[in-house]
Every structure is written in C-alpha cells, then in structure tokens.
Chain A
Amino acid sequence: MLGFIIFIVIVAVLVIWVIGLYNTLVRARNAVKNAWSQIDVQLKRRHDLIPNLLETVKGYMKHERETLEAVTQARTAAINAGGVAETGKAEGMLSGALKSLFAVAESYPDLKANQNFLALQEELTSTENKIAFSRQAYNDATMQYNNKVQMVPTNIIAGMFNFKEEEFFEIEIPTEREVPKVSFSE
C-alpha cells in the first residue's frame, strides 16, 4: 500500500515537472512570436508617419523632387512587399531613402526650425530605433528559445511535442554595417 502511494507521488511530481518544462517552452516560443509581431507594429508605424513627413517637407524642399519621390516609392514597395526576405529588403531601402531625406534636410535651415518637422524627425528616427530594437529583442528571444530546445532537460520535451528551433533575424543589407561614424560631439 505504502509503495503504491510513493509510486503515485513520484508519478505526480514527474507529471508536474514535465508540465512545468512544457510551459517554459511555450512561454519562450510565445516570446519569440511576440517579438516578431512587434517588428511589424514598428514597421507599420513608420509607414503611417511618412505621409505626414512628406506633407511637411514639401513646401520647403521644392528642388528635391527626386529624394521625396524615392521615399514615396520605397514606402509603397515596403507596404506591398510579401515574404520575409522581400519585406526585409524593401524596408532596408526605405531606411536608406529616409536617411538621405534627412541628410538633405540639413541644408534647409527654415525646415530645421520647423517644430512640426523636428517632432516628426524625432518620431521617425525613434521608430527606426524601435525597429532595430525589436529585431534585437526578437534575436534575444530566439536565442533563449533555441537554447531551451537544444539543452537538457527541455530538449526531451521539445522533441516529444515538436518544438522546432527558430531562425535568427539576419541583416539584409550588409552595407548598412559600414555607415560612417558621424561625430556629434558638442
């Protein structure tokens, strides 16, 4: 009788332990998914901000039609892009187009004094940061999750319930790494 009770207890503890491990895996996988959707949220936010920016800038930058059009086109391409690889590339193009727009804006003192423009610039560059940080968070979450899938003891559970490793977010445009260091010393 006593042996049976001990057996039941051991089984119960084991089951609870397995449930616990399973739940940590689910939590880690959800963190990955959540981080991925955060990237989309920030990309969408950037798409929404661009028309406002163009509207503000238009009056000042009369001779920069090409730069403005490049941004518009890149935005359209980014919105219509499908698939991870294509989206990544299109969004990279959009980042580049925005960067050159802000670079050109440097030579328009009136524009730089415009409160609306400054607010939009802060908003857009911060959104750019948020996109990058959400990718970073995605990679962090993916590493956490992948470690769990690979390491004892969670790897046993992962194998049983078909938890697969997720892929890291790779840089789409290698040239982005070589952005020259802009000094902004006071």
Chain B
Amino acid sequence: MWELIRANRRKSVFLVVIMAALLFVVGYAAGELLIGQGGGVIGLFFAFAVWIIMTLVAYFQGRQIFMTVSGAQKIKKEDHPQLWNVVEEMVIASQLPKIPDIYIIDDPAPNAFAAGRNPANAAVAVTTGLLNRLKRDELQGVIAHEIGHVKNRDILFMTMIGVMLGAIVLITDIAVRSMFYGGHRRRSRTASSGGSQFELIILVAGIVLMILAPLLAHLIYLAASRKREYLADASSAQFTRFPEGLALALEKIAHTPIKMKKINRVTAPMYTVNPLQKASAKAAGLFSTHPPIGERVKILRSMAGGSTYMAYNEAFQQITGSRSSIVPQSALISPESRPAGTAPPGPVPGLRQMEGAALLAAAVPEPATQAGKVRQTTDALWKARNYRFIHCDCGAVLKVPPDFKRREFKCLRCKKVHSA
C-alpha cells in the first residue's frame, strides 16, 4: 500500500510540474501578446497569482464548496446505520486512520463520490438513488472504490490538477477575448511599423499556444483521471476481496436511465461513474473522465487470480490489450522477484476466503421490500435534517420538520392528537 501511494505521489508530482509549466508558459505568452514587449513577466506573475489563489481556495474550502454545490447532507451513525457500518468496514479493511464524514445527496440517480484533501479530512457522499438500488454487497464495492480514492490520495491530486486546468482555461480565455477587442489591433500596428518578421512569428506561435494549451491541459487531466478510476476499482477489489460486488453495482448504475440533477463539468470526474457520460458509450474517448463501464465490469469479472492488485493488473492488461500497468510495479510483488530461499507469500487469506462468502452480507438484515429500503434511505435524510419522528398507535408515522411551529399534531389516519 505504501508503495502504491508513494509511486502515485511521484507520478502526481511529475504531472503537476508539467501542468504548472504549461500554466506559466501560457501566462507569459498571454502577457507578451496583450501588453507587448516585456509584458510576459507581468503575465507570468498574473498566472502565478491566479493559480495560488485558486489552489488555496480549493485546498481549504474545496470539500465544503463541493458538498454545497451537490446539495449533500451530512449524516450521523443513527441516521443510516447500514451505510455507516459499510463505510466503517471499508475503513478497517483499507487501514485508513479515521472514518470519513458521510454525506447523502437527495438524487434519484445512483452515484457516489469522495472529497477532501487528505485521509484525515476526507468525506464520502452517496445519492439516495444508490442506496435505494444497491444491495449491501454492491454498496460495499462502491464505498470501497471511494475509500480507494481517499487512500490513494486521488482527491487532492485531481483537485490540484483541476485547479491548474481551470487557471489555464481562464487565462487563455481572457487573452483570446481581449485580443479580439482591441489588443490585436494595437499589436498589428506595431508589427506593421516595426515590420520585424520575428515578431510576427512570436505572435502566431502565441495564438496557437492559446488555442492548444487548454486542450493539452484537458487531455492530461482526463488521462490522469481515467487511470485513477482503474486504480480505485483495483483498490475496491483488494479491500472487499469481492470484485463482483462493484461489478454488479456498476452494471446497475449503468442501466439506470435517470440523470443526476446537480451536476456540472467540474464535479463530474469525482463520481464513481461519470454522471454526464452516456452509459452506452463503448470507448473511452480522449475526452472522457471515466473509462467505459462495460470495460470496468469486464476487468473486474476476469480477475482470475484472486482479488489482489496483481490480479487486477493482469485482468486489466488482458482486457484492454494495454501493456501499461495500472498499479506501479513496486506494488506488484511476484514470487520470482523474491530472493532465493524465502517462501513465496501465496494468496493472502482475505475475509471472503477466511469466513466463507455467504457469512457476510447474507447475514446482515436488509429490508425485505423495495419500499422498506426506500424508507430506510429517506428516513436517513429526515433524521439528518433533524425531523422529529412521532409513531402513532395506528401504525402511521409522522415526521415533523424541526422548525415547525405547531406543538400538536393530529394523526391523519386515526385522528389521535400527539403533542411534541
């Protein structure tokens, strides 16, 4: 696990450096184009300032902004014990230092995401649609995927790189706009009077850069995002020792036609399944944040050699035909790489192997009917919003908002009066 995080960090630093270089080049070029000779330094400074401010906001307020934008409601253990327990189980399996904050989003489309800058400050959010549709096993697969994001430090990285993408887009946008409104004219006048060919080349190169830079930044961002989705799937299999759980959940999510309500392009890459992408999309285009679901399911299903990172990696290479590793080499320990004379580790006994798969979710009580499951979910939302529950003798339940002024409630069914 440590190898994984460290190798991840090394790669992340590399990508961040590339993005930063791109950002500064864009800043410099924008300055040169707009202000003229010597303006590059000002542009550079401006790009740096934009980046720093956006990064600070994302680092300290990112999670809060994220949760507010998606309308997530923080819950306590009593609100939805099952969800809480599933998260806690995965925290134990992944050896995270702390249980992340758990949120529910009132949205019929099934999905989930993780947020927060580090494992100590992490949060996972699931939609009501997800809770209503998935069985415990499947929910566990999804939660393990999100915990995988937390564990692999994906969130901080994707936020940082996303911020840089945003800064690059912002600066090129400003540059291109202001060139259209006047900047360009002033520039061409000096070019014609000075007549230097060199200056013209710089101008053209700058414009080309302005067009290409955001595109390039976007591609880096998306490629990094897709790779991390695979890695989180691998983590899910490793933590649950049951790849089928996530596979089933992904299929259910893919076959649900409902679209999420509060989604935009910024938050989309954070979800388990890209909420903006069509489920039918077969290929992972250059412009998708997530790999195609069908492929992810296929990889999970063909993990023949157990539930380890190595098994996932083999399945990944077999299905995609790619030679690249999803998991860094150092985390893939094969018996051959061990010094002579030491025993091969063999399969590490996991939960499923130790206790028998049936013991797990089968024993955990689940509501028998769909209505019961939906009630469990909505009740979690009511409780999280501090509604008061009044149980009437006739079998009905009244759920009263906390800011409700009346002190007495009449049961709609048997007309019995309850006082709060």
Any A–B CB pair closer than 8 Å? yes
Q: List the interface of chain A (C-beta within 8 A of B).
A: 24, 27-28, 31, 34-35, 38, 42, 99, 102, 118-119, 121-123, 125-126, 128-130, 132-137, 139-141, 143-144, 146-147, 150-152, 155, 168-171, 176-184
Query: Are A129 and B345 closer than 8 Å at their CB atoms?
Result: no
Q: Which one of B252-260, B357-365, B411-419 is at the interface?
A: B357-365
Nearest-Cβ distance from residue A72 to partner chain B, whole angstroms: 20
* Alpha-carbon gap, A178 to B357, bound state (A): 10
Looking at chain A's contact residues, is the secondary structure mostly helix, strand, loop, or mixed?
helix
Q: Are B348 and A118 in contact (CB under 8 A)?
A: no
Q: B333 on the interface (CB 8 Å rule)? A: yes
Tally B residues with Cβ within 8 Å of A.
Answer: 40
**Residues from chain A with Cβ under 8 Å of B238 in the complex:** 140
Contacts of B364 in A (CB 8 A): 121-122, 125-126, 129
Q: Which residues of B contact A (CB under 8 A)?
A: 1-2, 81-82, 85-86, 88-90, 92-95, 135, 238, 241, 333, 337-339, 342, 345, 348-351, 353-366
**B2 touching A129 by the CB < 8 A rule?**
no
- Count, A-B residue pairs, CB within 8 A: 125
Contact B95 A31 (CB under 8 A): yes
9 closest Cβ contacts across the A-B interface?
A179-B356, A126-B85, A182-B362, A133-B93, A132-B351, A125-B364, A181-B358, A136-B351, A133-B92
Query: Given A122-B81, A147-B333, does the pair A136, B95 have CB atoms closer than 8 Å?
Result: no
Find out whether the CB atom of A136 lies under 8 angstroms from the CB atom of B93: yes
Given A122-B85, A147-B345, A152-B339: A137 in contact with B362 (beta carbons within 8 A):
no
Q: Could you say which of A24, A35, A102, A139 contacts B363, with CB atoms under 8 Å apart?
A: A102
List 10 A–B pairs whose Cβ atoms lie within 8 Å, in order of A's numbering: A27-B2, A123-B81, A133-B351, A135-B349, A136-B349, A137-B92, A147-B345, A151-B333, A155-B339, A181-B358
Q: A150 touching B338 by the CB < 8 A rule?
A: yes
Contact of B355 among A126, A170, A176 (CB under 8 A): A176
* Residues of B contacting A143 in the complex (Cβ-Cβ under 8 angstroms): 345, 348
Complex contacts, A181 vs chain B, CB 8 Å: 357-358, 362
| Residue in B closest to A182 when the chains form the complex, CB atoms | B362
Given contacts A176-B355, A184-B362, contact A137 B95 (CB under 8 A): yes
**8 Å CB contact of A34 from B88, B95, B350:** B95
Closest B residue to A171 using CB positions? B354
Known contacts A31-B95, A128-B363, A168-B349; A176 and B354 CB within 8 A of each other: yes
By a CB distance below 8 angstroms, the chain A residues around B338 are 147, 150-151
Task: Return chain A residues, CB-CB under 8 Å to B366.
Answer: 184
Given contacts A137-B94, A143-B345, A168-B348, contact A130 B358 (CB under 8 A): no
Report the nearest B residue to A127, measured CB to CB: B85
**Using Cβ atoms and an 8 Å threshold, which residues of chain B touch A169?**
349
